[in-house]
Amino acid sequence: MKETKTVEIAQKHREDVIDTLQLRSKERRVLYALLIFFICTVAYENSALIMSRLVGDSHPLPELGERRHQQLTPDQLKRLDRALAEASEGFPQYWARFADNQNRLAEAMTLLAEEGKADAAQEKLSLVVASMFEFATHPIIKSTKDLEKVVTELKSLRRTLKLKTDIPELEIKPLSFVRETEAESSQPRRDLFEYTLR
């Protein structure tokens, strides 16, 4: 006859069972939190791919470091035109320069109203900015309060739109006083200090 072995089962108290269940629920909560962190990390790392799948390839995603260039607005042109009109009253002898620049601003406004001609309007504006900077910084011109307003507007436009104002046509050219004509070159040269009897 075979001997039967008796296995003693450890007796568990009620407190031990409750502690074990609480420990398992805590482990389950930690596991869920780790899974959520993992899913968030994967979604963040592959956000460009996920967005391209959801939105489509036609939607461009801005990359790091890229900024959209600020566009020229009609309000900026109007402010500069108003400042030019006020400053021109203090310099009536230079009405031609102010009138030319105000005409260029009017042309820039009409170009800006048309679709696809913003670059041409900005070129006109850069001519105005270069011309008025040359005028305002000239040593002969005495600065006034209205002219300082014009310079402030020009500086803000140059900074926001990144305008290039070094235009060679508007540079001051050196004066040349020597001009030989055909009549001058055909006449014989004469020394005034040479004494001759005739």
* Residue with the two structure tokens 């890229």: 66
Helix ranges restricted to H, the chain: 14-45, 47-55, 74-88, 95-113, 118-136, 145-161, 182-186
What phi and psi, each to the nearest 5 degrees, are found at residue 20? -65, -45
Domain boundaries, the chain: 14-55, 74-170
pTM of the model: 0.50
Q: pLDDT means per 10 residues in the chain (198 residues)?
A: 66 74 90 93 84 64 59 84 89 87 89 83 86 85 87 86 60 53 60 59
Q: Do residues 106 and 90 touch, judged by C-beta distance below 8 A?
A: no
